[in-house]
Amino acid sequence: MADQKYIDEVTGIETTGHEWDGIRELNNPLPNWWRWILYASIVWAFGYWIAYPAWPLISSHTTGLLGYSSRAEVGKEISKAKERQKVHLVKLEKASLEDIRTDPELLEFALAGGRSAYNVNCSQCHGSGAQGFAGFPNLNDDEWLWGGTIKDIHFTISHGIRNTEDDEARSSAMPAFLKDETLNKQQVNDVAEFVISLSKTGGDAPAAARGKSLYAEHCVACHGPDGGGKAEFGAPALNNGIWLYGGDKGTIVHTIANSRSGVMPAWGRILEPVTIKKLAVYIHSLGGGK
Amino acid sequence: MNETSVSPGIDRIDVEAVNKKETRSLYKKRVKIHPKRVQGTFRALKWWIMMVTLGIYYVTPWIRWDRGPGAADQAVLIDIPGRRFYFFFIEIWPQEFYYIAGLLIMAGVGLFFVTSLVGRGWCGYACPQTVWTDLFIYVERWIEGDRGARIRLDKAAFSVSKLSRRVLKFALWLMISVATGGAWVFYYADAPTLMVQLVTLEAPSIAYTTIAVLTFTTFSLGGLMREQVCTYMCPWPRIQGAMMDEDSLTVTYRDDRGERRDAYKKGESWEGRGDCVDCNQCVAACPMGIDIRDGQQLECITCALCIDACDTVMNRVGRPTGLIAYASVAGEHRRREGEPAGLRLFRVRTIAYLALWAAIGIGMLVALVSRADLDINVLRDRNPLYVTLSDGSIRNGYTFKILNKAREKRTLILTLEGLAGSRLKVVGAEDAEETAAPFFSAEPDRLHSFRLFISAPGEYLRREATAIRFILTDLESGSRAHYDSIFRGPKQ
């Protein structure tokens, strides 16, 4: 809303007519160079609208005469990356697991691919650093429930653990000693004390002594005479400091009483064979591979 | 308007300073100026500096420097894809970018030093804007003639002759601008190779874009905008004023000698009047279009062409030169008191600037010469912090990077200090078994990245975090690099 225009005494320029608390504004012309650049950008804009995607329509948009699309650009970049990777992928598909481990160039590519496939598929259960959680094994250490050679790891990833859809999935069943009423509460406690005594000193010695005979009767078949574990049953070693579900007495009692049966997907039914190879090489290289 | 003949050969030129107080206005259109040709000491100095600076700029990318097979053979090269900066025998990795920062600081301090000595010497002699504008004015004068001829050409009606002269001038300006842009991109790629690519239209598009941008800027800044860059765009004039003191030399009109100014005819007496014959040659010669007789002003870039112009006239009328001269404020005061003006070059300020400049330069040189060509960086795994192994030992994972800045392949051995009973295993090393000191080879001029596992028996760890030191030794030369880190274990 323009009010009265004044002429400024100092410069002789007319004011715009607006006034804010007595402050007025001189109405000077826009610089020519500024105006012409504005006109040029307007012309440019029209040209741009014709050439490039610009205006939204109801359920689509104007695509422009040049046919440019940023989505297509991304598609092109992905194809280019895939082309570059193809060279290595072809070699990986042909090479055996041992070959990959010994060839530095293949190894580098497999590790990089394995790391990214791990982050997408495996980190949800096994953790972002492969450190695992209660019930999900730590893949960095050198204890392997089902064997730590690269072939074993490859098989485990491919066929899964106790997977109902894959016939070749690894499987075993630990009895639930208290639930099945094979042992009573006291006996479960004794076995737990014995198991703890395998890796730590200072527990309840008489209970451990009682547990030892119970262990020999019920547990040796799968877990081995010295608690060393047996890979064919997926039975963990009980004589070290590594516990899948927890090494405190309460958890061990719970394990013996109610049994455990962890599961893992059969990734061979979901991922490509070359990806399984990369994953196997990667997991094996985390430090505990045998 | 009237041209009074002051003496045979000296005409009063009809010209007015562009920033005269009476006609000055913020919204006035730019008044085109046509600097007149002068001859003299400072003009010769400016030509000389122009040839040296332009010569360095255009020629340097073509200088060769042999660094061995497979390496870049250009003496000065900023290899952005390869992440290296080459300067003759110096090679800088991106981690050492602080040398460039040091050079920039030296450039700044050097500028302060020069300014405190001779005022806006940078502006008048060495600044790229001055040098290229000077060059473009030279081309303009070559094609269109000196000041008078150019003014007449501007006023002349359109004709074939006028058009052809303009076109030729713009063509030459364009050629110089393209060469300027071209020289710029040659610093970033191998010059002979890129030259061939540019001509056969196979160069990367960024090269063409850069040349186009620099052509545009050189043409418009040097050909069209000229003195407006210095007056309106550049921040240096505002800063330089703060770096001068009463002893800094600057272009000074000695008004006690020059006033009262008046026209002069041969044979007249010099009594009762000043030496200034009001010929306006100083205004006509000024590339900024100002009148130095109004005193030092923002627009004056102290190029001293007015000194040359006035000295020429003073010689012709038989008066001593130096009516306009390089002088300092304090010196002028002393001169007017009757004492010798003197030249105080060694002041606390100038010595301090020079000392600082030299200290930074020497410091950088020492750092550069004593650089190690072997470096190691270690990143400890954060997830998991540590891993318990089945035999009860604790293991930490590390990623370590070796920088081999030498031009030969090296065999290196890694040892660890601070952790008793530790075993090291490098993923991908020549011997992939656990050992106390793994060794591996490093390619020349490359960075290698390895994964390293360190295991230590659990009972040896007294603390949650133990300080350790990695030492990398070159088996042949014996040079060592070390890195301090920690080894973590469970809570004690």
pLDDT reported for residue A49: 96
DSSP states of B42-106: HHHHHHHHHHHHHHHHHHGGG-B----TTS--BSEEEETTTTEEEETTEEE-GGGTHHHHHHHHH
Question: Is the separation of the CB atoms in B426 and B455 below 8 Å?
Answer: no
| CA–CA distance, A142 with A144 (Å, rounded to integer) | 6
Distance from CA of A62 to the nearest CA of B (A): 28
Shortest CA distance to A4 belongs to which of A15, A21, A19, A17? Answer: A17
pLDDT reported for residue B3: 46
What residues form DSSP beta bridges with B74? B64
Subunit contact B395:A140, Cβ cutoff 8 A: yes
ipTM entry: 0.75
Subunit contact B383:A104, Cβ cutoff 8 A: no
What residues form DSSP beta bridges with B374? B404
pLDDT reported for residue B267: 82
Subunit contact A242:B397, Cβ cutoff 8 A: no
For the domain covering A185-258, report its CATH number.
Answer: 1.10.760.10
pLDDT reported for residue B303: 93
pLDDT reported for residue A108: 86
Q: Which residues contact A284 (CB under 8 A, 6 or more apart)?
A: A101, A148, A150, A153
Distance from CA of B381 to the nearest CA of A (A): 9
| B428 close to A (CB below 8 A) | yes
Q: How far apart are the first and last CA of chain B?
A: 99
Question: Is the separation of the CB atoms in B189 and B82 below 8 Å?
Answer: no
| CA–CA distance, B310 with B304 (Å, rounded to integer) | 10
Query: 10 Å Cβ neighbour count for A20?
Result: 7
Subunit contact A140:B384, Cβ cutoff 8 A: yes
User: What residue of B is the nearest CA neighbor of A102?
Assistant: B428
CATH architecture of A73-169+264-284: Orthogonal Bundle (1.10)
Distance from CA of A131 to the nearest CA of B (A): 6
| CA–CA distance, B368 with B370 (Å, rounded to integer) | 6
pLDDT reported for residue A51: 95
Tens digit of pLDDT for each residue in B416-435?
898 888 888 877 554 456 66
Enumerate the domain spans of chain A. Answer: 73-169+264-284, 185-258
Subunit contact B391:A240, Cβ cutoff 8 A: yes
Tens digit of pLDDT for each residue in A104-122?
888 889 999 999 999 999 9
pLDDT reported for residue B434: 67
Give the CA-trace dihedral at A10, A15, A18, A22, to 10 degrees. 10
User: What residue of B is the nearest CA neighbor of A284?
Assistant: B427
Subunit contact A240:B390, Cβ cutoff 8 A: yes
Handedness of CA A121, A123, A129, A133 (dihedral sign): negative
pLDDT averaged over chain A?
92
Residue B36 in 3-state DSSP?
A: coil
Residue B195 in 3-state DSSP?
A: helix
Q: Which of B384, B392, B395 sits opposite A240 (nearest CB)?
A: B392
| CA–CA distance, B155 with A125 (Å, rounded to integer) | 85
Residue B364 in 3-state DSSP?
A: helix
The amino acid sitting at A89 is L
pLDDT reported for residue B450: 83
Q: Which residues contact B280 (CB under 8 A, 6 or more apart)?
A: B12, B13, B14, B15
CATH class of the B374-488 domain in this structure:
mainly beta
| CA–CA distance, B257 with B440 (Å, rounded to integer) | 81
Phi-psi region at B124: left, alpha or beta (left = phi > 0; alpha = psi -120 to 50): alpha
pLDDT reported for residue A149: 93
The amino acid sitting at A96 is S
Residues of A in contact with B428 (CB under 8 A): 104, 107-108
Handedness of CA A25, A31, A32, A37 (dihedral sign): negative
Residues of A in contact with B389 (CB under 8 A): 141-143, 242, 288
For residue B196, give the DSSP letter.
Answer: H
Helices A185-199 and A249-258: angle between axes, nearest 10 degrees: 130
pLDDT reported for residue B174: 96
Subunit contact A287:B391, Cβ cutoff 8 A: no
Question: Is the separation of the CB atoms in B295 and B21 below 8 Å?
Answer: no
DSSP states of B234-247: -SHHHHHHHH--TT
More confident call, A135 vs A10: A135
What residues form DSSP beta bridges with B7? B10
Equal fold, A73-169+264-284 vs A185-258: yes
For chain B, residues with pLDDT lower than 50 are: 1-5, 430-431
Enumerate the domain spans of chain B. Answer: 40-96+127-242, 250-340, 374-488
Distance from CA of B23 to the nearest CA of A (A): 13
pLDDT reported for residue B431: 47
Residues of B in contact with A35 (CB under 8 A): none
pLDDT reported for residue A48: 96
Subunit contact A140:B390, Cβ cutoff 8 A: no
Q: Are strands B465-474 and B480-488 parallel, antiparallel or unpaired?
A: antiparallel
* Confidence band, pLDDT 50/70/90 cuts, at residue A136: very high
B193 sits in which H/E element: helix B191-199
Q: Which of A29, A143, A287 sits opposite B395 (nearest CB)?
A: A287
pLDDT reported for residue B476: 86
Q: Which residues contact B55 (CB under 8 A, 6 or more apart)?
A: none
Please give the structure tokens belonging to residue B328.
Answer: 């300092």
Residue A229 in 3-state DSSP?
A: coil
For residue A190, pLDDT beyond 80: yes
Tens digit of pLDDT for each residue in B271-303?
888 999 999 999 999 999 999 999 888 899 999
Helices A273-284 and A150-159: angle between axes, nearest 10 degrees: 130
Residues of B in contact with A127 (CB under 8 A): 383-384
Distance from CA of A162 to the nearest CA of B (A): 25
Residues of A in contact with B27 (CB under 8 A): 28-29
Is pTM beyond 0.80 here? Answer: no
